[in-house]
Chains A and B, each alone.
Chain A
Amino acid sequence: MTSIRDSYEAVIGLEVHAQMLTKSKAYSSDINEYGARPNTHVSSITLGHPGTLPKMNKKTIEFAIKLGLALNCKIASHQHFARKNYFYPDLPKGYQITQDTTPICTGGFVDVKLEDGVVKRIGITRIHMEEDAGKSIHDVDVYDTLVDLNRAGTPLLEIVTEPDMRSADEAYAYLTEIRQLVRYLDICDGNMEEGSLRCDANISVRKKGAEAFGTKVEVKNMNSIRNVHRAISHEIDRQIEVLETGGALSQETRSFDAASGTTSSMRTKEAANDYRYFPEPDLAPLFVSQEQIEAVKQEMPVLPKELFEKYTTELKLSDYDANILIITKAFALYFEEVIAQTKNYKGAANWMIGEVRSYLNQQGKDIEDFPLEPKSIAELVNLIDSGKISHSAASQGLFPEMIAFPEVHPEELANKLNLIQDSDEDSIKGFIQTVIEQNASEVLRYQSGEKQLVGFFMGQLMKASKGKADPKAANKLMREMLDNAK
């Protein structure tokens, strides 16, 4: 099977729907919020009552431009909306307001880094603004379908890629990138479990080297990035198997079942013109000026890619470290504040990636809930750098104490805990002299070549100084004094 599978390649395009984090809905002022009591965030517009007129939310345009710029798209100056007509109970108007022929963003791309370090460019065909439908609940009542229209009219950005992906891994990397991006831009919370970020995959397979695309299947209902990966892997295998056993694929929509990891047919695709798109006469056309685009550009937040560049080239951190630091915007911004107050970037990164992150993981908290100010972490790093406290004393003694008393200055706490180490040369020399005098036979063995005994002497020194001698300074002095001891 391996060799047969290797003679095929998959062609994958993704459609991502991102619910925008606006306060109100796309074309009406209803509250845009997840998880409220059913049918409380509705209005006559959302319910599709006769005679009502939609009015466009200004913010959605700004959000769309932000994303378009981040994905290197061209922003259309003239746009209008369209009606996409279909009958379904959670779509009270009988049509979805969307953009058909004039999407706000076109022709972009995003570079994603795959696990093996290879960078793959994925084309963005278009991004357009539209509205979400309500929610139908089929599995609660035996006889009825329950309809909640709170979600109806929620502003969406639909992001459509070129069929550029060739594997489930590439789709996974792309989605991870998009989720990180919308979160950095503060335009969507990226929560796939709650459905605020959704992904449909168009998948086909063809013999390697073939020009023509195979029959395309659309897969839906994947509520995590991992499930998108599972669904695509399964669907590729299924299609190859159908073709290899002499079967034919049909253009259809399939649903992913997370429990079994398989896909099953939902419906065969109806003809493309069934939606009978036509221009939405109730919404005035849009004009986006170059000034408006420039204004959004000025307000663009720092993007993960830029931070990665900065950390790896300017701060000379490893790719691994940089990737962890930029996972969320809040974590990266915290680190930014730390390094504004210490020049030891690697030290600061180690603390963030080590102690800070493991504390957050243990507590199940986000950096937003971390009790310490970035300044405190910077001071901690500086205390270690100046030799006032050892790394182990900082990590095991001072750090937990700082979290318990976040308002106390770290150095003051270290003093109180008696953790400040001795880096005064004369005082360390005194301890070393005592150790040398008490271990005369070991000194002789050291001098006759058993250099590994330095570890023994350091141990004795730490005992004598009650662990407070600065090991870096002490080690150097110890060697000098052992060599010269008589």
Chain B
Amino acid sequence: MEITDELIDHIAHLSRLSFDGVERVNIKKDMENMISFMGQLSEIDTEGVEPLVFMSTEFNVLREDIPLTSMSHEEALLNAPKKDTDYFRIPKVLSK
């Protein structure tokens, strides 16, 4: 798999990050290394092997529909960098 500048830009956008200049060159190199390392896996013959999705053999790990308050309003807002008495406050994400 080839790591192109377009791919870097695309992934950066999805992650809300941006890379320019030397940063972009470095991240591209890192990603190429990672992809080629993982690429070793494709040398294994997986013909006829079902994909393994879950490591555990458990299923239907469920809970009853019983409501429970585990955290107070104040606790919930405690670590927020910006807040008021009711809400988390964040920079405007939608301009009209």
Query: Residues on A close to B: CB < 8 A?
Result: 22-24, 29-32, 37-44, 47, 55-59, 61, 80, 85-89, 136-139, 141, 143-149, 274, 276, 279, 281, 283-287
Contact = CB atoms under 8 A, between A and B. Distances in A.
B15 to A, nearest CB: 7
Contact of B59 (A43, A274, A285): A285
Contacts of A57: 62-63, 65
B1 interface: no
B76 A138 contact: no
Contacts of A30: 67-70
B54 A146 contact: no
Interface stretch (B18-26, B30-38, B41-49, B84-92): B84-92
Interface of B: 14-16, 53-54, 56, 58-71, 73, 76-77, 82, 84, 86-94, 96
Nearest to B64: A58
Nearest to B58: A284
A141 B91 CA distance: 10
Given A55-B63, A58-B63, A89-B90, A144 B96 contact: no
A87 B90 CA distance: 14
B87 A148 contact: yes
B65 A22 contact: yes
Contact of B54 (A39, A43, A80, A139): A80
B84 to A, nearest CB: 8
Nearest to A134: B88
Contacts, number: 123
Contact of A23 (B65, B73, B93): B65
A287 B60 contact: yes
B63 A29 contact: yes
A59 B14 CA distance: 34
Contacts of B66: 23-24, 29
A80 B16 CA distance: 29
Given A284-B54, A286-B60, A144 B92 contact: yes
A43 B70 contact: yes
B12 to A, nearest CB: 12
A138 B87 contact: no
Nearest to A20: B65
Contact of B68 (A24, A59, A139, A284): A24
Contacts of A24: 65-68
A270 B70 CA distance: 38
Contacts of B82: 144
A42 B60 contact: no
Contact of A29 (B68, B77, B84, B87): B68
Contact of A42 (B53, B58, B65, B71): B71
